[in-house]
Structure formats: C-alpha cells, structure tokens
Amino acid sequence: METIAVYWESRIKTYGFQRITDLALVEFSYPLSEIKALGEILSQDDLQMLRPKFMIAQESDQRISFILCLSVKEGRDFHASLEKPPGPTPRRYIYPVGIIFFHGPHFGDRYGIADATFSTLSKAEIQVIASGCSSSSIFLVLVQDDMDKAEKALGETFEVAK
C-alpha cells in the first residue's frame, strides 16, 4: 500500500548552516576492474584514524574517482601515501577549503532544493569545488575565503529555523 502525504512550503526551510574549515581536498582515482584492491588499501589499519569530513565517488571511463576532504595534516599524509606505488593515482590536492552543510524538514521529500542552492551560489559568483547531496543533506565544498559570502547568500534564499 502506498501512502501519500502532501504539504506546502513557500520558502525552503533548513535547520541552519554548519561549517567545517581548514580542510584539504584530495582527489584520486582507481580502475573499476581493481576495486577490490582499492578496498584493501582503504581498509588498512593505518588509515583507520582518517576521518573524512566529506567524501564522494563518481564512476566514469572504467575508473572510480574519489574526492575526500580531510584535516590538513590528514590530507597531506594521505596524499603522500597515495604517491607510493601501487596505490591509486593521485590527481589533485586543494588547500585550504571549507565545507558548508545543511538539511531541513523536507529535504529528501521535495524538489527544487538543488536548484535553489546552485542558483544562489551562482548569482553570488561563488564557485563550488565539489558537492554531495544524500540522506537529506547538502554538502558544499568551497574556497575557504568564500564561506561567509556563501552562508549569507544561502541564508537569504532558505528559511533558517530560529
């Protein structure tokens, strides 16, 4: 049986914006055919202490690319460890970056949230370095210096719960 609930929300509500700053973004890729080998690398005990604040992976051209945000020290060490063969191919290291993330009562249920987010950032001329949206939340990786401007612009678009 399917149950359908309908609601109306004029301005998209959020529970507020949270930030994490002073992060390093690390990108690497690996052949999809050897994904088990990458799994073995990631499950090594010496990487257990890593606490990625953001992670996405995209599949393309028979490879899987990972983008992780780590604390600066973790990012530097992890990027260096990738350069040791036979590890994944390191592609990019960007520092410093920050993350703004937010969620709301109807995130996951309704349309228009990504549109509101990316249109707002574009109008404010803020470049998005990476983004991941899942489990009813939006994560935006931005140049650290853009964080204040981004939060102000997003705060004007979304209704922040008091």
Q: Which of 42, 72, 80, 161 binds other proteins (CB under 8 A)?
A: 42
Q: Which of 24, 26, 38, 82 binds other proteins (CB under 8 A)?
A: 38
Name residues contacting other proteins, limited to 72-111 (CB under 8 A).
91-92, 94, 101, 103, 106, 108-111
CA 32 to CA 101: how far, in whole Å?
A: 29
Contact 156, 8 (CB under 8 A): no
User: x-or-dash pattern for other proteins, window 115-144, by CB under 8 A?
Assistant: x-xxx--x----xxxxxxxxxxx-x-----
Q: Which of 11, 43, 86, 162 binds other proteins (CB under 8 A)?
A: 43
Provide the CB-side half-sphere exposure for 22 (13 A, CA).
Answer: 4
Q: Which of 58, 80, 89, 156 binds other proteins (CB under 8 A)?
A: 58
Distance, C-alpha 142 to centroid of its chain: 9
Strands 159-160 and 13-14: parallel
Tokens 């004029």 correspond to 10
| Type of residue at 2 | E
How many residues sit in the footprint of other proteins (CB under 8 A)? 66
Choices 30-38, 82-90, 148-156 (CB under 8 A): range interacting with other proteins: 30-38
Residue 144: which of 156, 129, 159, 133 has the closest Cα? Answer: 129
For residue 54, give the 3-state DSSP assignment: strand
- For residue 154 the two structure tokens come to 């997003």
Q: Applying CB under 8 A, does 62 fall inside the site for other proteins?
A: no
Residues that bind other proteins (CB under 8 A): 2-9, 27, 32, 35-36, 38-45, 47-48, 50-52, 54-60, 64-67, 91-92, 94, 101, 103, 106, 108-115, 117-119, 122, 127-137, 139
